[in-house]
Amino acid sequence: MTGREILRLEAVDFVRESRQILTGIDLTVRAGERWALIGPNGAGKSTVLSLCGAVNHPTRGSVHVLGRMLGRVDIRELRESIGHVNPRHSLSSPLTVRQVIFTGATGTVELLPRWSPDAATGARADELIEMLGLAQLAAATWPTLSQGERGRALIARALLPDPALLLLDEPSTGLDVAAREQFLATVDQLHRARPDLATILVTHHLEELPATTTHAMLIKGGRRHASGPAHGVLTTDRVSECFDHPIEIEHRAGRWQARTVQECSATRR
């Protein structure tokens, strides 16, 4: 049985300053699906994510998020049902982890003046702090956190309003290998705890995909190159075509690995 539809892009074009960024993008995401958007730099991945998050509107085509069509809905209200994790979060104030999580209730970077959380919001924040292993850091301030700790805090912030859709925009940016693996384990834990949550993760690197990834879209030159269940999309032939480079794909212990064909040949010798 397929889950309810969370997101649908149909024949989407996006033009910025007379430049065609996306052409004919189709994408349908259902509850419980965990999508990866993969492609070279400049392929249009982040632009697709901005449409999914109701940040931008399509130039042509239609975008439906949670059953509502962009252009015919209050964007501010719609964004409350979308969690967005961006490692380039532009916070400059020394908010504590708990306060950062509270900004998820208002959809702002900073705490709003004269705003305070109600009892239910406070309880929800505490629940997320425990779930994401932040209990020892709840009072720590943003400037003192590592990138990995910030990533977990931003997931908690995004989940505070209990969204149906979670967007992760290159969430492993700036993480070392250990922090990346800890972060991906957190995402996998989240998927197991929230089986109906739909997620879309943008990355350049297959090694940064959580083991719980179910679907993938390859994007090349602003067009959909391939999309569908991850195992049918993330193949040696399709990934090599997408990146215009011979890349061998392996799937081992639930994770993907990518190596150039030359590296693979040298290893075998």
Q: Is the predicted pLDDT of residue 47 greater than 60, yes or no?
A: yes
Task: Please give the Cα distance from 66 to 81 (Å, whole number).
Answer: 8
Q: Is the predicted pLDDT of residue 64 greater than 50, yes or no?
A: yes
Amino acid in position 103 = T
Do residues 153 and 169 both lie within one domain?
Answer: no
Do residues 179 and 219 both lie within one domain?
Answer: yes
Do residues 171 and 260 both lie within one domain?
Answer: yes
The last residue of a domain, from among 128, 162, 196: 162
Q: Is the predicted pLDDT of residue 111 greater than 90, yes or no?
A: no
Do residues 185 and 261 both lie within one domain?
Answer: yes
Q: How many domains does the structure of the chain reveal?
A: 2
Bridging pattern class, strands 223-229 and 247-252 = unpaired
Mean pLDDT of 192-212: 92
The last residue of a domain, from among 132, 162, 192: 162
| Contacts (Cβ under 8 Å, ≥6 apart) of 14 | 20, 21, 22, 25, 44, 47, 51, 56, 58, 59, 222
* Neighbour count for residue 96 (Cβ, 10 Å): 17
Do residues 110 and 158 both lie within one domain?
Answer: yes
Q: Is the predicted pLDDT of residue 1 greater than 50, yes or no?
A: no
Do residues 35 and 68 both lie within one domain?
Answer: yes
Are 58 and 13 contacting, i.e. CB atoms less than 8 angstroms apart? yes
Q: Is the predicted pLDDT of residue 99 greater than 70, yes or no?
A: yes
Task: Please give the Cα distance from 122 to 110 (Å, whole number).
Answer: 17
Higher pLDDT, residue 119 or 91: 119
Do residues 66 and 175 both lie within one domain?
Answer: yes
Nearest alpha-carbon partner for 49 in 12, 101, 3, 102: 12
| Degrees to nearest 5, angle at CA 240 with 239 and 241 | 90
Predicted pLDDT at 232: 95
Predicted pLDDT at 138: 93
Residue 120 domain boundaries: 89-162
Mean pLDDT of 230-251: 95
Do residues 135 and 210 both lie within one domain?
Answer: no
Mean pLDDT of 169-194: 87
pTM comes to: 0.87
Q: Is the predicted pLDDT of residue 121 greater than 90, yes or no?
A: yes
